[in-house]
Every structure is written in C-alpha cells, then in structure tokens.
C-alpha cells in the first residue's frame, strides 16, 4: 500500500518565518504534488514535480517554492510566511505511466494544518 508521509500534522508559525513542509513517499512514484485546501475553495495545486530536480508551477505558486533533491522527497517552502497562507497543506504522489501520469490516481499524505499568526 502506498504511504505518503508528511512530517507534521499541525504547525504554528509566525508571520515572516521561513517554513519547511516535508513529504516522503515510499512507492517510487515519479510524480509528487503540493496542494492547499481551504473551505469553499477546494484543492488548489501549488507546485508539482515529475522527476528529481524538476518542478512545475501549479495554479497558486506565489509565495512558495519547492525542492526535490531525491525521488522520494518533495519539500514545500514558504519563504516568508503570511497569515493568508494559513491552510491545510496536502502532499500527494502518483505513478507515471509511460511518461503520461494522467491515468494515475493521486495518493495523499494526511495533511499539515499550518497556522500563521
């Protein structure tokens, strides 16, 4: 069974702090994703990566960066946390099928609830 592990379940940070959210998957998946989920807005894609050292912007990348130095690990970085980044952050991974991942379902970690004060 696929396991996607997020390092923290709950985080409280102050405005202006640099925040690191870590995600590790154990199924050798090529693709990894970071989403945030807010009431009424659903899941919104921040960044994704389809290979080591590769990254692509999602729909809302502003204020975030990512790092993928190893296949199993995808980190989300908030360079200078702001109160509007208070949210549930969800990491996911999926298998790439012959270079196209659109047929592969996503497997999610259990989320990090970040509060920025």
Partner 1 sequence: RKEVEQDPGPFNVPEGATVAFNCTYSNSASQSFFWYRQDCRKEPKLLMSVYSSGNEDGRFTAQLNRASQYISLLIRDSKLSDSATYLCVVNPRAAGGFKTIFGAGTRLFVKA
Binds partner 1 (CB under 8 A): choice among 62, 69, 84, 100: 100
Binds partner 1 (CB under 8 A): choice among 76, 90, 114, 116: 90
Nearer to partner 1, 71 or 107 (CB): 107
Residue 42 interacts with partner 1 (CB under 8 A): yes or no? yes
Upper half-sphere CA count for residue 97 (Cβ side, 13 Å): 7
How far apart are the C-alpha atoms of 113 and 10, rounded to whole Å?
A: 5
Of 14-22, 66-74, 78-86, 106-114, the window that binds partner 1 (rule: CB under 8 A) is 106-114
Of 11-19, 21-29, 43-51, 66-74, the window that binds partner 1 (rule: CB under 8 A) is 43-51
Rule CB under 8 A: which residues touch partner 1? 33, 40-43, 45, 50, 56, 90, 100-103, 105-111
């Amino acid at each position: 069974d696929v396991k996607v592990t997020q390092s923290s379940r709950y985080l409280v940070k102050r405005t202006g702090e640099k925040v690191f959210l870590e995600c590790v998957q154990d199924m050798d998946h090529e693709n990894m994703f970071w989403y945030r989920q807010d009431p009424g807005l659903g899941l919104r894609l921040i960044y994704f990566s389809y290979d080591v050292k590769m990254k692509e912007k999602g729909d809302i990348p502003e204020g975030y960066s990512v790092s993928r130095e190893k296949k199993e690990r995808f980190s989300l970085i908030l360079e200078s946390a702001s109160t509007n980044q208070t949210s549930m952050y969800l990491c996911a991974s999926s298998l790439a099928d012959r270079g196209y991942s659109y047929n592969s379902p996503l497997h999610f970690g259990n989320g990090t609830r970040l509060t920025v004060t």
